[in-house]
Structure 1
């Protein structure tokens, strides 16, 4: 028998080499969620277990447990269902539902009463977390250590500034110039470009803190806010979607992760209230 010569389109045994073309993931412009399925998964920084992020009807992200749970074993306040990539509270009439990750996370206090299946699942996750901590493969997130006080003058730059868009205030996860775009690049990575554009910058201004949940205002009279309300509508939408100018012009490009915005609450985020503008120099004393 004469051996068949080896070619690039065949294996060593002569079988054809099948190659599947790579297809880029895209999101339809009419989709209620701009996040890809691959970008919805993550791990809790307190227990290291898997979770999935979804948009809600109020445009606020929520972390859900990746597995479905029997509806009868979940209290009515913890039942969620999915529709077109969006999470809605309540049930959809089926025998299964999704639950928030905080319901099973051992870091958060357990609600009362809790059904036996949920108590068993919570204990199992706590045991896995303890084993990973003992093995040194996981370290729970803690508050950052206090750094030494510098003696040189520094700008009063807030670590988590408050931004104002469409007359609503949002708390960012980092400085204004460090907010990254959430769009996906051609190499399927997160875009490294910042959202801040030199052509349409915001302005730092002192604004009243406002009332807290219909009650009286906080003792602080004014607070530093990065105001973007004077920008055009398209620019404010770009900031709200957390996209750089290049990806704002490409609506068919999907997001790798959720935007980092958090609705600002003066009562919950009082430590992020600053009474002076960041363009002033402050000298630290001993």
Structure 2
């Protein structure tokens, strides 16, 4: 990894499978540090509409063409389980059908199981599977429960760190009921208070550690590369309304002592 690279994410092995269709995807960071899943192969630029063209530079994905006859395309445009957000071409429609056939084959052989529908907004006070976390006055939707948010740093053995971001002792956030806030002029949910894991009272360095998704051991090792993208997703009160919880979760039960 070059020292001048704008990202600390190693490009080796940063691929996965779409949770909805099972086809292979390549994961990259955008200029705003948000993740994006791209189709693993390059396509001819003339076959891709201009709004769907992406190119890579220094490990960062940029949403436009770089002037070459080849470009990358977001997987969301080709995913057979999603509705494309831009106008497609006959070439892309044929590629979507190929991916749909592959999805059916993976499903029939038991290699791939489609992700279950998102859990409904339950009014029970259980700990949310994907909590909303407030870091540096910005709200993010976590990928896992707080206890299962894993450090993304690379260890000396070149494996991903197994430690959680949540420290077993020391600083921790506070569950609070906060109003939903609109983003970029959008309409928010009216008069709704939602449960937010607020880290705003923690020191600035501690909030940076959470946003970088690093454990307390790797926060002091800035030279360690990242083996995975941070799982934070900018929270949108409309797109993520399913994950809004209107009651605070119960604290974990303490074991009783025998007298």
Q: TM-score range by the shorter chain?
A: 0.7 to 0.9
Structure 1 pair 238/113, CA: closer, same or farther in 2 (3 Å)? closer
Q: Which residue in the other structure is 2:140 paired with?
A: 170
Q: CA deviation at 1:251?
A: 1.2
TM-score (norm 2): 0.86
Q: Which residue in the other structure is 1:258 paired with?
A: 229
Structure 1 pair 113/170, CA: closer, same or farther in 2 (3 Å)? closer
Q: CA deviation at 1:38?
A: 2.3
The answer to whether the Cα contact below 8 Å between 2:152 and 2:227 also exists between their aligned partners in 1 is: yes
Residue 235 in structure 1 maps to residue 209 in structure 2: no
Q: CA deviation at 1:224?
A: 1.7
Structure 1 pair 239/113, CA: closer, same or farther in 2 (3 Å)? closer
Distance, in Å, in 1 between the alignment partners of 2:173 and 2:85 is: 43
Distance, in Å, in 2 between the alignment partners of 1:165 and 1:253 is: 22
The answer to whether the Cα contact below 8 Å between 1:220 and 1:275 also exists between their aligned partners in 2 is: no
The answer to whether the Cα contact below 8 Å between 1:29 and 1:251 also exists between their aligned partners in 2 is: no
Bigger Cα Rg: 1
Q: Which residue in the other structure is 1:92 paired with?
A: 66
Q: CA deviation at 1:262?
A: 0.8
Distance, in Å, in 1 between the alignment partners of 2:184 and 2:202 is: 28
The answer to whether the Cα contact below 8 Å between 1:183 and 1:253 also exists between their aligned partners in 2 is: yes
2:238 to 261, 267, 271: 267
Distance, in Å, in 2 between the alignment partners of 1:256 and 1:229 is: 27
Structure 2: segments with no counterpart, 5+ residues: 253-259
Q: Which residue in the other structure is 1:183 paired with?
A: 153
Q: Which residue in the other structure is 2:130 paired with?
A: 160
Q: Which residue in the other structure is 1:138 paired with?
A: 112
Provide, for residues 116-161 of structure 1, a one-character-per-residue CA deviation record: whole Å limited to 9, x for no partner: 3222222222222222222332222223799xx9xxxx96322221
The answer to whether the Cα contact below 8 Å between 1:106 and 1:125 also exists between their aligned partners in 2 is: yes
Q: CA deviation at 1:178?
A: 2.1
Aligned residues: 249
SS of corresponding position for 1:38: coil
The answer to whether the Cα contact below 8 Å between 1:196 and 1:244 also exists between their aligned partners in 2 is: yes
SS of corresponding position for 1:55: strand
Q: CA deviation at 1:59?
A: 1.7
Distance, in Å, in 1 between the alignment partners of 2:245 and 2:112 is: 35
The answer to whether the Cα contact below 8 Å between 1:39 and 1:255 also exists between their aligned partners in 2 is: no
Structure 1 pair 123/166, CA: closer, same or farther in 2 (3 Å)? same
Q: Which residue in the other structure is 1:192 paired with?
A: 162
Q: CA deviation at 1:177?
A: 2.2
Q: CA deviation at 1:60?
A: 1.1
2:182 to 211, 214, 217: 211
1:8-27 equivalences in 2 (<5 Å): 27=1
Distance, in Å, in 2 between the alignment partners of 1:216 and 1:80 is: 30
Structure 1 vs Structure 2 CA RMSD: 2.4
Structure 1: segments with no counterpart, 5+ residues: 1-26, 282-286
The answer to whether the Cα contact below 8 Å between 2:135 and 2:198 also exists between their aligned partners in 1 is: yes
TM-score (norm 1): 0.79
Q: Which residue in the other structure is 2:48 paired with?
A: 74
